[in-house]
Amino acid sequence: AQKITQTQPGMFVQEKEAVTLDCTYDTSDPSYGLFWYKQPSSGEMIFLIYQGSYDQQNATEGRYSLNFQKARKSANLVISASQLGDSAMYFCAMREEENFNKFYFGSGTKLNVKP
């Protein structure tokens, strides 16, 4: 089974609107961490946000927030007030406590922000 599933290969959003990028995960480890990365067309990987499995609050970093639903095993990224510069690939990733230094990435979602 896939550890990380991103079901939206591509998404469009109008500038200034909010968008949600889906991510579901599969693990039996009670302790794990979830990450989102942005990859612009230039290719670099940019860390956006982290959520720990025991964190009580949903993580937020500026315009990014993580909608963490543990029972559903989902960790959706919400980008508020989209900007043209948000157009990029977005990858969800996970690591488990048992294999603390091994990371699993999803297949990514390509977000296009329309003016």
Partner 1 sequence: EPEVTQTPSHQVTQMGQEVILRCVPISNHLYFYWYRQILGQKVEFLVSFYNNEISEKSEIFDDQFSVERPDGSNFTLKIRSTKLEDSAMYFCASRKAGVNEQFFGPGTRLTVL
- List interacting residues with partner 1 (CB under 8 A): 33, 35, 37, 43-47, 50, 52, 91, 93, 99-108
Nearer to partner 1 by Cβ, of 34 and 82: the residue is 34
For partner 1, the closer of residues 45 and 84 by Cβ is: 45
Contact 49, 64 (CB under 8 A): yes
Q: Looking at beta carbons only, is 76 or 109 nearer to partner 1?
A: 109
Task: Work out how close the CB of 43 gets to partner 1 at its nearest, in angstroms, rounded to a whole number.
Answer: 6
Q: How big is the chain by its Cα radius of gyration, in Å?
A: 14
Q: Which of 1, 6, 3, 2 is nearest to 107 (CA)?
A: 6
CB 95 → partner 1: shortest distance, Å?
9
| Minimum distance from residue 100 beta carbon to partner 1 (Å) | 8
Alpha helices in 1-44 (DSSP H): none
Distance separating alpha carbons of residues 36 and 49, to the nearest angstrom: 5
